[in-house]
Amino acid sequence: MKPSTLFAFTLGTLSAIGGFIDIGDLVADAQVGARFGLRLAWVTVVSVIGIMCFAEMSGRIALKTQRPAFGLARSRIGPRYALAGLVGAFLVTALLVMAELSGVALALELASGFHYLLWVPVAAAFVVVVVWTLPFKLMHRIYGVLGLAMLVYVVAIWKLDPDWSTMWRSTATPAPVPGETWGAYLFFVVVLIGAQMTPYEMFFFSSGAVESRWRPKDLAEMRINVIVGFPLGGLLAIAIQAAAFLVFFDLGVQVDHISQTALPVALALGQVGFLLAIVGIFAATFGATLETLFATGYEIAQYFGWSYGKVQPPARAARFTTATLALLLISAALALTTLDPITVTIVAVVFSAALLPFLFVPVLLTANDRELMGELVNGRLANAVGSLTILFSVAVALAAFPLLVLTRAGVS
Amino acid sequence: MRWTWWLAILLVALVAASVWYLQAPPRTVGSYRDRAASTTEALRSQVQTARLWVGALEDGDATRPAASVAFREAEADAEAALSRFAGYKPPGTTDELRSEVTVVGREVTLALAALKLAADRGEWDDLPRLADPLEPLARRLQALERATER
């Protein structure tokens, strides 16, 4: 494999591991598996298809125009709508930066036994050092490859020796288990959609493609990233659900902590597996911290027309660099207030789900502009899948807030 | 006033009402029983989680630092669930239910605190003995949960 191809692949892997599997997924998948078995696995399949469609569209726009999809889309939909989108996306993504940073600290807590609040400043300092010293490509490679340790969840399922017919019956029953309400079931549909179809995945993928100077000739590589990366993330998400189902469901365990997410791997594979799971959780949350941080910086810089980018020296993108560092400091300070990172994550992913249609529609419109996109304009398949995804996301957005309140965040 | 201001006011009112609804204590017997059931569920979850960690340690499958974190979380969560429930004023004829849940809840928090302290002191060999009460506690909680839901 050529080095350039390897890099292209790791960009996709990082997007998948860090974007698809982040703190939101680690928590939501284990919660869902413990409470509903695999009865919500279909949501992950829908999420993977939806995010693949819009990541591919965003990547294609970036390849053709050398501009990130959202920057372009916003310039076409007017400043007021764009500002509303920016504020919404900024608030949700900023909350996620705090949650991801706490996730890194929680992984370090599991490894060391020291309280996670002690690790928050260390994690923030480590992020600064990595962002400042490591080149964009190397950063992706290291955390993309380390994130593959999450595959230990797939191995753990075999070692837990499941009854495959029970697993299949659970997967093929898209309804709540006895004792659970439809309200709670639908609330977790929203949570999974919000955790898995995160807008920052597209911001990052699209802006990363511009930073990596992809051109139309790189279309095949971009598509390989999408086709391999996101389904890999989806596979890991379903593996976490299945592991939690096998270990926790019959015992009535509710998952509220990252330690519980890692426990099924320990029971299946012993200490080596457990340590690999911690490495995977660390890499996934660290990668997601970088992605959310950059995605927020990109959003702000692209809206105000600042020079931006990780590949440039910090002094040449001073306002972008300052904005990302300020966000990191604010997130670390928020994390140190002892706000429960898991609760913050659940609230953030619900609001993220509510924002999806506002972010998808401009991308679909831009990708259909024949004058702009030329031969890379959307085909029938992209339009059909994109439109269905938008319809689904509108339903999710309308239901998100009422379900959050009426079910008391899935409790009843 | 512009419609956008009205919309903003409506949104703020909606958020305030939602926060009140989420935090409101139970006022009817039915909702109190629901909270009792969800409290016993939460307590049983912590008990079962602690049992799994003790088993994993005994088999050499989990690391000690991670287990001590897990015991700390289990005790804190059980304490929080119990004190939240104990803070509700029992409506109507639910005094007995309140007493049942709080009594078993206290036993749970004591058992989990014992595990946490032993882990913090490095008394790892004592954990299996200290975990003995957890299985009967889990059974009692499940029975109470079923009785409450009826």
**Residue A313 at interface with chain B, using a CB cutoff of 8 Å:** no
Residues 110-139 of A with CB under 8 A from B: 110-113
Task: For residue range A331-341, list pLDDT tens digits in order.
Answer: 999 999 988 88
Q: CA-CA distance, B127 to B107, in Å (whole number)?
A: 17
Check CB contact under 8 Å for A412 and B142.
no
Proportion of chain B above pLDDT 70, given as a percent: 99
> Which residue among B34, B66, B70 places its CB closest to the CB of A412?
B34
Query: Which of A147-156, B1-10, B77-86 shows the lowest per-residue confidence on average (mean pLDDT)?
Result: B1-10
Within A305-379, residue ranges assigned H as helices are 318-336, 341-367, 370-373
Q: Is A124 left (phi over 0), alpha (psi -120 to 50) or beta?
A: alpha
Q: What distance in Å separates the CA atoms of residue A273 and residue A153, rounded to the nearest whole number?
A: 9
Q: What is the DSSP letter of A15?
A: I
Cα dihedral A33, A37, A38, A39, rounded to 10, equals: -120
Query: Which of B41, B44, B52 is most worth mutating to test chain A (most A CB atoms within 10 A of its CB)?
Result: B52
C-alpha distances in angstroms, A346 versus A249, A293, A349, A400?
A: 20, 19, 5, 12
Which residue does chain B place closest to A244, by CA atoms?
B49
Is residue B123's pLDDT more than 80? yes
- Helix (H) or strand (E) run with residue A35 in it: helix A23-36
Measured between beta carbons, which residues in chain A are less than 8 angstroms from residue B124?
none
CA distance A349 to chain B (A): 17
Q: Does A178 touch chain B (CB under 8 A)?
A: no
| Cα(A248)–Cα(A242) distance, integer angstroms | 10
Question: What ipTM was predicted for this assembly?
Answer: 0.89
Is residue B76 scored above 90 in pLDDT?
A: yes
Q: Which residue does chain B place closest to A255, by CA atoms?
A: B45
Residues whose CB falls within 8 Å of the CB of residue A287, separated by 6 or more in sequence, listed in order: A14, A17, A18, A19, A22, A143, A144, A147
User: Which of A37, A49, A64 is CA-nearest to residue A253?
Assistant: A37
**Tokens matching residue A274:** 């457990």
B65/A110 Cβ within 8 A: yes
Q: How many alpha carbons lie under 13 Å from residue A377 in its C-beta half-sphere?
A: 10
Predicted TM-score of the model (pTM): 0.91
* A352: three-class secondary structure by DSSP: helix
Helix (H), strand (E), coil (C) string for A277-307 = HHHHHHHHHHHHHHHHHHHHHHHHHHHHCCC
Query: Helices A182-196 and A219-248, interaxial angle, to 10°?
Result: 140
CB distance A396 to A190 below 8 Å: yes
Q: Enumerate the residues of chain B whose CB falls inside 8 A of the CB of residue A113.
A: 64-66, 68-69
User: What average pLDDT does range B91-102 have in this prediction?
Assistant: 89
3-state secondary structure of A340: coil
Note whether A1 contacts B: Cβ–Cβ < 8 A: no
| Residue stretches of chain A with pLDDT short of 70 | 1-19, 69-71, 73-75, 77, 137, 308-315, 412
Which residues does chain A have within 8 Å of residue B21's beta carbon, measured at their own beta carbons? Answer: 405
Whether A113 sits inside 8 A of B65 (CB atoms) is yes
Q: Which among A398, A387, A383 has a CA at the least distance from the CA of A60?
A: A383
Instruction: Give every CB contact of residue A220 below 8 A, 6+ residues apart in sequence.
Output: none
| Listed residue (B70, B79, B81) closest to B42, CA to CA | B81
Contact A295, A207 (CB under 8 A): yes
Interchain CB distance below 8 Å, A274 and B34: no
Pick B41's closest partner by Cβ from A113, A254, A263.
A254
- CB-CB: which of B21, B34, B59 is closest to A405? B21
Q: What pLDDT score was predicted for residue B146?
A: 87
Q: pLDDT tens digit string along A19-41? A: 678 888 898 999 999 999 999 99
Taking the Cβ of residue A379 and every Cβ of chain B, the question of whether any pair is shorter than 8 Å is answered with no
Two structure tokens written together for A357: 């249609």
Taking contacts as CB-CB distances below 8 angstroms, the residues of chain B near A274 are 61-63, 66
Average pLDDT estimate for B95-117 = 95
Q: Chain A residue closest to B18 (CA)?
A: A405
Rg (CA), chain B: 20
* Contact between chains at A266 and B61 (C-beta distance less than 8 A): yes
What are the distances in angstroms from CA A135 to CA A132, A142, A207, A208?
Answer: 8, 11, 16, 13
pLDDT at residue A216 in the model: 77
pLDDT for A236:
92
A348 CB-near residues (< 8 Å, 6+ apart): A24, A92, A95, A96, A99, A194
Tell me which chain B residues have a C-beta less than 8 angstroms from the C-beta of A404: 18
Select from A188, A149, A254, A225 the least CA-distant residue to A41: A188
- CA gap A290, A309 in Å, rounded: 13
